[in-house]
Amino acid sequence: MLERLNQALDHLETRLDQEVDMAEVARIAAVSEYHFRRLFSALAGMPLPVYVRRRRMTLAGAEVLAGELTLLDVAVRYGYGSGEAFARAFRSVHGVGPGEARRTGAELTAQPRMSFRVVVEGGTSMRYRIVERESFRFVGRKARVPLVHEGANAAADAHLASLDEPAIVRMKELVHQEPEGVLSAVVHLTDSREEGAEVDYWIGVVTGPEARAEDLDVLDVPAGTWAVFDNRGPCPSAVQDLWRDVFTQWFPSNAYASRPGPELLRTRPVEIGAETDSQLWIPVERGGGGGSVR
C-alpha cells in the first residue's frame, strides 16, 4: 500500500500548477478519498490541503524570486484568480508577500516533496479482531476539544470531571451491547489529525438504536465493520501510541480503510502513568489495499 500512496503523491506533484482532483489521487492509492485524507494526515502530521498549499507556494516562491514571470502570471499558474488571494496564500507559507520577496530577495520557506516509507524499529505486534455490528446509538455527553498527541488533554479531562453522578448512573443503565461500560468516543470534524485540531469528544455508552435519553446527547451510528484493538500500557501514553500506530502502521499494511464514524475507547480510570487495559474500536471498510511493506 505504501507504494500506491507514493504513486498518488507523484501524481499530485504533477498537478500542482492546476486544479487537483483529490478523488483521482485517492483512486491511484486504491483507497477512498476519505481514507486517503485521513491516512495522509496521520502519516504526514498535517492535513492534505495544507501540504498541497505549501508545495504550491514552494514552487511559486522559486518563480517569484526568479523574476521571469509577472506576479499575476505566477498567481494564475498556481490556480489563484487574483493577486490578492495569491498574496495571502504566499504570506501564510513564507511570512512575506510575493512583491516584498521579489524586491528584497527574502528568505522563503520550502516544503520538501513528501514520500512515505516504514522504518521497522521494534517489531511490536498489534492484537486486533474484525467485528460486524448492527446500527446502534451512542448516548452520553459531548464537548468540543483539541487533539493532544502526547500527555494529558486538559479539555477532555475537564469534560469528564464535569459529569455528575446521576448522569453516569443513567448512562450505565442504558448499556446494551459490546463494548460495554462507560466509554469515550472521538468524532473527527475534519480530515486533520494534527495537534490542536478540534474534535467532538464524547463520554457515554453503546445502547440499542431505539434507546431514549432526554437528558443526554445522542449519536446514531449506522451498521458497519469495526477493527477492535486490545492494548495494555501506561496511561495515557499507551492509548495515544496505539491510536498513532493504527493509522501509521496497521492501515498501510492491511486491506482495510477507515470510514466515517466515532472511534470508541474503553479503558478503566487509573492515575497518570499507571498501567491500564484498553480497547479501541475504529470504523473500517474493506479496500485499504494492504500488502507487503518495504
Give percent above pLDDT 70 in the chain: 92
Q: At what angle do helices 48-66 and 83-94 cross, to 10 degrees?
A: 100
In this predicted structure, the answer to whether residue 77 has a pLDDT above a threshold of 80 is yes
Element (H, E) at 202: strand 198-207
Residues 6+ apart with CB under 8 A from 247: 38, 39, 42, 43, 193, 258
Average pLDDT, the chain: 85
201: left (phi over 0), alpha (psi -120 to 50) or beta: beta
In this predicted structure, the answer to whether residue 197 has a pLDDT above a threshold of 90 is no
Q: Are 135 and 222 in contact (CB under 8 A)?
A: yes
In the prediction, which pLDDT does 292 show?
Answer: 30
Decide which of 276 and 52 is more confident.
52
Q: How confident is the model at residue 47 (pLDDT cuts 50, 70, 90)?
A: confident
Per-residue pLDDT averaged across 22-38, rounded? 91
Q: How confident is the model at residue 12 (pLDDT cuts 50, 70, 90)?
A: very high
In this predicted structure, the answer to whether residue 29 has a pLDDT above a threshold of 60 is yes
Cα–Cα distance between 272 and 279 in angstroms, integer? 18
**φ and ψ of 7, to 5 deg:** -65, -40
In the prediction, which pLDDT does 38 show?
Answer: 86
Q: Are 258 and 284 in contact (CB under 8 A)?
A: yes
Per-residue pLDDT averaged across 66-90, rounded? 91
**φ and ψ of 274, to 5 deg:** -75, 155
Class of residue 112 by CB neighbours under 10 A (exposed 0-12, middle 13-18, buried 19+): exposed
| pLDDT tens readout for residues 171-188 | 998 987 888 889 999 999
**φ and ψ of 215, to 5 deg:** -90, 5
Cα–Cα distance between 175 and 289 in angstroms, integer? 35
Instruction: Name all domains of the chain by residue range, CATH numbers in brackets.
Output: 2-104 (1.10.10.60), 127-286 (3.20.80.10)
Cα–Cα distance between 74 and 53 in angstroms, integer? 14
Other C-beta atoms closer than 10 Å to the C-beta of 40 total: 27
Decide which of 255 and 265 is more confident.
265
| pLDDT tens readout for residues 105-144 | 888 888 888 877 655 444 456 778 889 999 999 999 999 9
